[in-house]
Amino acid sequence: MNKIVLASSSPYRRALLEKLKIPFDYLAPDIDETPLAGETAAQMVQRLASAKAQALADRYPHHLIIGSDQCCVLAGQITGKPLTEANAIAQLTRASGKAVTFYTGLALLNSASGRLQTCMEPFVVHFRTLEDAEIAGYVRLEQPLQCAGSFQCEGLGIALFEALEGRDPNTLIGLPLLALADMLRREGVNPLRA
């Protein structure tokens, strides 16, 4: 079986990849994540997912390297990680009663052959109309300061929503497993035959 590397330090992505029950290593790539002028959110996450995988190719020359990147868009604006409680409250206040689209880019690089597979998965979250006290309470309890959109859907964040729409719910957490499993099978790695 090919050795697999996840180009990420995210504990959420690691937990998702563990669902496939295939052994893997992980390492955070060192890349510039600055958006390019005129780049759409979908283009940006695809570019960054590929860049993350390619950044580890020299260190892992005979591996399958997984890169993933995510951003969320509210009212046409890319929303990043809040980093502070005040920013998280402001982001959730803006999202209240609205739909937010998450774009997740995925790349699988076979560093031995140079073959690069990519895709982009959208996922839409419809927020309930939230009270200020709900937002403040959520941020205080969950501390979603390192999460795009200021929530963790795998925890208490699910109570913020009225509906979710997308092909793969794992996409919202940061790693589209349906697409990744397809890519891995094309490289001869079938989690069901491991």
Bridge partners for 70 per DSSP: 104
pLDDT of amino acid 46 = 98
Closest CA to 138 of 153, 123, 125, 126: 153
Which one of 30, 58, 69, 132 is the catalytic residue? 69
Give every CB contact of residue 6 below 8 A, 6+ residues apart in sequence.
Answer: 13, 14, 17, 24, 25, 26, 27, 66
- Would residue 58 show up in a list of annotated catalytic residues for this protein? no
Residue-level pLDDT at 146:
87
Helices 11-18 and 177-186 cross at an angle (nearest 10°) of: 60
Q: Given this model, what pLDDT does residue 154 score?
A: 82
Q: Is 94 exposed, middle or buried (0-12, 13-18, 19+ CB in 10 A)?
A: middle
The predicted pLDDT at position 7 comes to 98
- Total number of domains constituting the chain: 1
CATH of the domain at 118: 3.90.950.10
DSSP 125: E
Look at residue 194 in the predicted model and tell me its pLDDT.
66
Written as six digits, the tokens of 176 are 């589209």
Q: What is the pLDDT of residues 95-122, one digit of tens each?
A: 999 999 999 999 999 999 999 999 999 9
| Structure tokens given for 67 | 């890169």
Residue 169 has, within 13 A of its CA and on its CB side, a CA count of 6
pLDDT of 2 reads 74
Nearest to 55 by CA among 33, 81, 23, 78: 33
Entry field: residues in the chain? 194
Q: Report the chain (194 residues): mean pLDDT per 10 consecutive residues.
A: 88 94 96 92 97 98 97 90 95 97 97 98 97 97 90 89 96 95 97 84
Give me the domain span that covers residue 147.
3-193
**Confidence (pLDDT) at 112:** 97
